Amino acid sequence: MNYRRKNLCRFEIFMNITIKYRCWISWCMLVFVCITNISYGQQQASAFDRATYYKAMEGNNSEAIKYQIDIIEKDDFKNKDAFSGALIMKSAGLMKVISKKLKTFKTGKIKFETALGKDSNNAELRFLRLIIQENAPKMLGYNHDLNTDRDFIIAHFNTIPEYTRKVIRNYSKNSKILSVSDF
């Protein structure tokens, strides 16, 4: 009998210690998960980068464009629909099937124009539209605002973020609508 009592006491002590460790481990895991979520949220807040965005706009790499669209869609910032809409229109030009090209372009156009309608005084968005309109096939009929956007960009050039101003200057070297002397 005495032997059973000693074993039972040892088992109770073991279980008590095990419960304490379980609580401690659970608490540590909870703290780790909270810290991980906070740092992940901070990384998400700064995911959109103009430099990589404009490199994707400038190039013809459909994977880079898809990647940028994914980043924009997961992020939360002002005018994200305009930025993704412009990339969607750009991606339409890289597709092979004509019906898919047209459908994709229209989807991007609606997304972009809806966002631009909410912030029509944004010169950077006007620049994005100018890029798309200048390079879109004439048969799409998406080229009516070229001169209006050109004049708006020139008049509000100083309100555009610095990196985008560099992109505009570089773009104007080969543009038929903008010229380097405009800036």
DSSP of the chain, one letter per residue? -HHHHHHHHHHHHHHHHHHHHHHHHHHHHHHHHHHHHHHHHHHHHT---HHHHHHHHHS--HHHHHHHHHHHHHS--TTHHHHHHHHHHHHHTT-S-HHHHHHHHHHHHHHHHHHHHHSTT-HHHHHHHHHHHHHS-GGG---TTHHHHHHHHHHTGGGS-HHHHHHHHHHHTT-SS--GGG-
Give the model's pLDDT for residue 18: 60
Which portions of the chain are predicted below pLDDT 50?
Answer: 39-45
**Domain boundaries of the chain, sorted by first residue:** 1-45, 50-182
Global pTM reads 0.71
Give the model's pLDDT for residue 141: 87
Give the model's pLDDT for residue 182: 83
Give the model's pLDDT for residue 22: 57
pLDDT tens sequence across 98-149? 999 999 999 999 999 999 999 999 999 999 999 999 999 888 888 899 999 9
